[in-house]
Structure 1
Amino acid sequence: MSQAFHPDLARAARFLPRVNLSPRLLSVMRFLMRVAPSPRAPRDVVVHDVQVPGPAGAPQVRVRIYRPATLARPAPALLWIHGGGYILGAPEQDDHLCASNARDLGIVIVSVDYRLAPEHPFPAPLEDCYAALRWLFAEAAELGVAPDRIAIGGASAGGGLTAALAQLAHDRKEVKPVFQLLIYPMLDDRTTTRTDIDGEHHRLWTQESNVVGWTSYLGHAPGRPVVPAHAAAARREDLSGLPPAWMGVGTCDLFHDEDIAYARRLSACGVPCEEVIVPGAFHGFDLTFRDAPVSRDFRAGYIAALRRALFPESASPARTSAAR
């Protein structure tokens, strides 16, 4: 789906570049992301890094922990997975977001520095996330975390990894997150094969970039009839038994159709899923223009959903959101 930009975003969107990522540009983009300044984390949140055991035969995984300075113990926790098309990014890019969310919710957030494709294709990034999740559950007492109130979440490719992680945790039956936060997730490699998509209003992530991301992650051309289990979350047929979810996406996002289809399949399989559709919002709008009213409303929506999931004793009954 596509349509005119949201009024809060229209003027700024005209100046956003339509970058079509290529393998040749990848190293340049990684460098620019490393050196680009990012908003500082609030001072009342303690941020530190820990190396945790990685998957069998693989290196340790770095996680970045955000803990409000006055946090009570035990506290709920969120395992956060950053975005970047499976090929870009690091926890530092979300420092302000994670620290602000940890402070506002009164929770611990653990962000995963997973390995990136194409150097490390599937299943390496997902297994790194699973290793971090297992560590979070195993060390919950030491971390001052309530093991029965651990959620998982992410944006874009991080949202795709979140959905796949929920499936993997369900199948392995070792750990059980209580909630999955899916912020415009990258779920379905088959979107790369569509020829009916109008990309005029797509920003920050285009169909050309999508092909590069999925090809790098899968290790082959996307859209094949069959991919390995958990490689593309939308390919799973039976979604029953997964944790409750919150799904948010804009109508000018390349992932709109695949995200809404997945949200509705979750609901059809008996998984509670709150669905928020933002008219005229493009990919990453809430991070690029975080002070816009529509971005503040979007964040408030998923913060409220996390609060209901992680503090059920004080939450009001959940509601299913209509399009905004």
Structure 2
Amino acid sequence: MPDNPSGIYLHIHGGGWVFGAADQQDPMLERVATNTGLAVVSVDYRLAPEHPYPAGPDDCESAALWLVENARAKFGTEILTIGGETAGGHLAAVTLLRMRDRHACTGFKGANLVFGAFDLGMTPSARQFGNEQRPLRTLDIEKFRGAFVPSGTDVRGPDLSPLYADLAGLPPALFTIGTRDGLLDDTLFMYARWIAAGNGAELAVYPGGAHGFAHFSGALAAQAYARMDQFLSTCQQGHG
């Protein structure tokens, strides 16, 4: 962590709400801290199927609320940003909505939403992706959703599918996606609704990028990470 962080990045890891841990991406988060001057807080939320919805979102909400109440005392700054990859992108969006609706908190300065799932009812690209041997097939999306969402739950309720929520009053967001990702439409649709709700947003679409491409070494990942770091740095400007 930087000695005198300029802000805080609340990071939520991916893994289909089923896998992963807060420390699984330490090198990536160390890069964020080094390049942006942000302190990074990563949430070790409870995982499905042992802890299905709403356990994971509840934990992320609790972490965000703790930061809002304690950031100044613990880190010396109240500038907050949030983000995550795949399921983490979904949970980051849900957390922003919960903070706004349940706690009247709209203080986050930016959202870094990376190949997130925003419609658990499945967008056209998710339904049509099929069994192509990429990291996330249509069947995988269905299985992850089945583990996370209890039977009989409305998967398109806004607390599960933020695409259907009122998105007004949310911070600027950077949406990152590859064209060979089954969740392509989730990002395209969410970006459009984010803009239509009056929020700032940037869209970064990477030709040929599969789901999770930014986690693998290569020019495409380096390009994506550079833009994310720039976005997170820009979110801090003008706030003190």
Q: So what's the TM-score if we normalise by structure 2? A: 0.92
Q: CA–CA distance in 1 between the matches of 2:129 and 2:65?
A: 41
* C-alpha distance after superposition, 1:46-69 (max 9, x if no partner): xxxxxxxxxxxxxxxxxxxxx13x
1:144-166 Cα deviation digits (max 9, x unpaired): 2421x101100000000001111
1:259 Cα shift? Answer: 1.0
Is the contact made by 2:119 and 2:156 (CA closer than 8 Å) also made in structure 1?
Answer: no
Q: Secondary structure at the match of 1:249?
A: strand
SS of structure 2 residue aligned to 1:280: strand
Matched, 1:81 2:9: no
Matching residue of 2:53: 122
Q: Report deviation, 1:112.
A: 0.2
Secondary structure of the corresponding residue to residue 202 of structure 2: strand
Of 159, 162, 171, the match for 1:230: 159
For 2:199, give the aligned amino acid: V
Kindly, what percent of the aligned residue pairs are identical? 30
* Cα distance in 2 between the residues matched to 1:193 and 1:89: 27
Compared with structure 1, are the counterparts of its residues 313 and 241 closer, same or farther at alpha carbon in structure 2 (3 Å cutoff)? closer
Amino acid at match of 2:144: G
Determine the structure 2 residue equivalent to 1:72. 4
In the TM superposition, structure 1's runs of 4+ consecutive aligned residues that sit over 3 Å from their partners are 192-196, 198-202, 226-229
Describe how 1:29-108 pairs up with structure 2 within 5 A. Answer: 67-68=1-2, 71-72=3-4, 75-108=6-39
Name the CA distance, whole Å, in 1 between partners of 2:53 and 2:25. 23
**Is 2:99 the counterpart of 1:173?**
no
* Letter paired with 2:231: A
2:12/2:91 contact within 8 Å kept: yes
* Secondary structure at the counterpart of residue 108 of structure 2: coil
Matched, 1:311 2:237: yes
2:75 corresponds in structure 1 to 144
User: Contact 1:192–1:211 (CA<8 Å) still a contact in 2?
Assistant: no
Question: Which of these two proteins has the greater Rg computed from alpha carbons?
Answer: 1
**Shift in alpha-carbon separation, 1:275–1:193, aligned structure 2, 3 A:** closer
Tell me whether 1:245 sits opposite 2:173 in the alignment. Answer: yes
Change (3 A) 1:152 1:202: farther
Q: CA deviation at 1:142?
A: 2.6
Determine if contact 1:150/1:178 at 8 Å carries over to the other structure.
Answer: yes
How far residue 302 of structure 1 moved from its aligned partner, in angstroms, is 1.0
Quote how far apart the aligned CAs of 1:286 are. 1.3
**Counterpart for residue 85 of structure 2:** 155
114, 126, 140: which one aligns with 1:209: 140
After superposition, the CA RMSD in angstroms is 2.2
Distance 2:75 2:16 in 1: 32
TM-score, normalising length: structure 1: 0.69
Deviations 1:270-316 (Å, cap 9, x if unpaired)? 111101111110011110x22x11110110011111111023379xx
Distance 1:114 1:293, change over 3 A: same
Paired residue secondary structure (2:11): strand
How many residues are treated as equivalent by the alignment? 239
Structure 2, unaligned runs of 5 or more: none
Write the mapping of 1:252-271 to structure 2, written as runs, cut at 5 A.
252-271=180-199
